[in-house]
Structure 1
């Protein structure tokens, strides 16, 4: 296997020595961008806001791409878990600081969490079974009996509920376990723990070969001890593929996390949590609105805050929020983001728009800037206030939480 290609997320174009096969495989995968190939075998490579470990190529040309996140592994695991466990403003004792890469850290966290959950016992549930039996069990399926056994007394067509370990929750845990065991880069001690988990799930249907869609499950009071493990399992399975620019879903041999999705989920759920405590009505990924009257151009703002208006207290859109992991540096590209927000606000009748993007840049010196906030006023018969926030994900958690609270409070208090 060829030497690994190591990159750092957000570090811009980085010069690396790659073989022609490596450069072609990397460029085609869209895991990273490749440009300026030179005769000496070097080229410039830049991440695509994906982090993790991916194995590309085949045979002797196989190589790994390792992309480290800008934030610490511990912080990334916190961000991954927050949207699924709202209000959880603390970082686990995952010992992730000792893990050099994301894959071994996630594998260790999943193994530890799943083992802790299964210590309560393997969860069981009921499934409906239709069968032909020599004795009555459950209830008789009369129509099936008449249709298939007309004139014959036995066997009986019956339907009954069977208590089993082959539940959606256990299939999810087993699929994530098998997925991690198939990956290189998982520490031996973690792999041993994963094998113990697989053994404990004996009797659960094995996942199909190829891409595995996480089985649907419903959080309940009964399966509450397993929620953390189940949500980590969903992360593991969803991180084995990503959607390319052409819309095709690419299955990868490795573990990749889409940072723009992590950021969007964290911001929207954290702000939603604060607004809900304040008594606001919030809709996430609201797809009920369209730009055109024929309802062919769907809008999907990340978060919309509704307020009551008029004597009847009808709820109307008041503030629209969008989270952008990267706000373009070029003015033209950045203007496109603002145009989109203005279109959202104008179509919904909202007077306020909020953009939140990840970064550590200070907005001092920008028009309307105050620290990490930029305020812009769009004139017209119904003026719109656009506020852009810079959110540094590397801040101490207490300060990060305070920034989220400030964004939410600013949405609750109208300023136009």
Structure 2
């Protein structure tokens, strides 16, 4: 019988549970939870700063995001951060129940829909050694690798095959999902049926970067399945057996997810305005020392900076952490934004928090700097999330235009 433990991301206390020491060690190694020994051979399981699910043998441990961010929203944030072409309907219908069951069901449904008319084929460039001529002979490689030899021949040709990036990604995700323990018989059968439809597609080796694919009219029916498959491959792992227990894990850091999503969404929203949006913008807080050494300077990496004419114009910082019970945000965040504004010579910065509420402006005393606290409620629908980010981009650019707009042409 499967035992389940459900924790909230911000939970700070929990009742002790009885665990096998091997299970406790495996849980701790996933990074999803901290596992601490308690009295009487019991263990205390608490969130470790990440969200997701881990299944070890007959134990399923889930850590839910704050604000009741459901699985479909989490998958959208992950998918959009990696690819702004990811659409809300790519995760439509995902149930906010058991994470692995929902992922397996969604992958099976999207995959079968993609392969309804059979596996997609395409041309792949191949370079190999053959005993007959096919395509063209790579003369340079032939002379370098086999001087004076007529056979085998180094040739290059384009092969029309099902072994294309789209099918490799989909099959890799299907095979990974099939290793998850205790999926329903129906889901497992459909995944196996998908795998059989992709016969002849080579396997992706673990740890190798995912092959690149480009959305087009030809692979349009594959897009939802591929985006979900990429999310699974980037964030999930599964082992058929580790010690005496099978293990599956899907673990993400919500602070990183939120920052990556905001960076991508702001780049898209600000793309209609002059300038360029850069994530992890490098800068220094202090001046260059007189003797020229820079190794001990105070370095900064600003979450998001929009530049115009190569000069910083708008500064954004993503903060996933919650506000205090009174609704106040940490003082250190405002110190940080003041430092960014001072070093980058901008008069306004945007602190973007993951949470409900309304924007609030704070003017920093004895300076010309203002900090805008801009909450984004992650429990909104995916479309509303993007609308909110678009509103943020519009507000930031309008503010820039009011304060520095007249010089924009000379700066760009």
- Shorter-chain TM range is 0.7 to 0.9
Determine if contact 2:81/2:260 at 8 Å carries over to the other structure: yes
User: Measured at CA, do residues 89 and 203 of structure 1 come closer, stay the same or move farther in structure 2, by a change above 3 Å?
Assistant: closer
Instruction: Identify the match of residue 227 of structure 1 among 202, 218, 223.
Output: 223
Q: For residues 240-319 of structure 1, what are the structure 2 equivalents within 5 Å? A: 240=236, 253-277=248-272, 279-291=273-285, 293=288, 294=294, 299-307=300-308, 314-319=309-314
More relative contact order in 1 or in 2 (CA 8 Å, sep 6+)?
2
User: Measured at CA, do residues 339 and 186 of structure 1 come closer, stay the same or move farther in structure 2, by a change above 3 Å?
Assistant: farther
Q: 1:244 — aligned with what?
A: none
Q: 2:112 — aligned with what?
A: 115
User: Measured at CA, do residues 72 and 145 of structure 1 come closer, stay the same or move farther in structure 2, by a change above 3 Å?
Assistant: closer
Q: 1:41 — aligned with what?
A: 42
Determine if contact 2:7/2:46 at 8 Å carries over to the other structure: yes
TM-score, with structure 1 as normaliser: 0.77
1:375 is aligned to 2:372: no
Q: For residues 84-95 of structure 1, what are the structure 2 equivalents within 5 Å? A: 84=82, 86=84, 90-91=88-89, 94-95=92-93
Deviations, residues 262-302 of structure 1 (Å, cap 9, x unaligned): 3223333333333223x243424244545565377654333
1:409 is aligned to 2:404: no
1:319 Cα offset (Å) = 1.3
Q: For residues 63-142 of structure 1, what are the structure 2 equivalents within 5 Å? A: 63-69=59-65, 70-84=68-82, 86=84, 90-91=88-89, 94-97=92-95, 100-120=97-117, 121-133=119-131, 135-142=132-139
| Distance in 1 (alpha carbons) for counterparts of 2:329 and 2:103 | 35
3-state SS of 1:393 partner? coil
User: Measured at CA, do residues 300 and 93 of structure 1 come closer, stay the same or move farther in structure 2, by a change above 3 Å?
Assistant: closer
1:375 Cα offset (Å) = 2.4
Determine if contact 2:32/2:53 at 8 Å carries over to the other structure: no
Number of aligned positions between the proteins: 380
RMSD: 3.6
1:203 is aligned to 2:204: no
3-state SS of 2:399 partner? coil
Gaps of 5+ in 1: 242-251, 308-313, 363-371
Determine if contact 2:32/2:47 at 8 Å carries over to the other structure: yes
User: Measured at CA, do residues 46 and 356 of structure 1 come closer, stay the same or move farther in structure 2, by a change above 3 Å?
Assistant: farther
Determine if contact 1:214/1:234 at 8 Å carries over to the other structure: no
Determine if contact 2:75/2:91 at 8 Å carries over to the other structure: no
Q: 1:344 — aligned with what?
A: 340
Deviations, residues 171-196 of structure 1 (Å, cap 9, x unaligned): 22111111100012433322222112
Determine if contact 2:278/2:306 at 8 Å carries over to the other structure: no
1:408 Cα offset (Å) = 2.1
Q: 1:367 — aligned with what?
A: none
| Distance in 2 (alpha carbons) for counterparts of 1:145 and 1:401 | 54
| Distance in 2 (alpha carbons) for counterparts of 1:353 and 1:20 | 50
Q: 1:355 — aligned with what?
A: 351
User: Measured at CA, do residues 93 and 400 of structure 1 come closer, stay the same or move farther in structure 2, by a change above 3 Å?
Assistant: closer
Determine if contact 2:284/2:299 at 8 Å carries over to the other structure: yes
Report the more deviating stretch, 318-327 or 264-273.
264-273
| Distance in 2 (alpha carbons) for counterparts of 1:77 and 1:54 | 16
Gaps of 5+ in 2: 238-246, 289-293, 404-412
1:19 Cα offset (Å) = 3.6
Determine if contact 2:283/2:302 at 8 Å carries over to the other structure: no
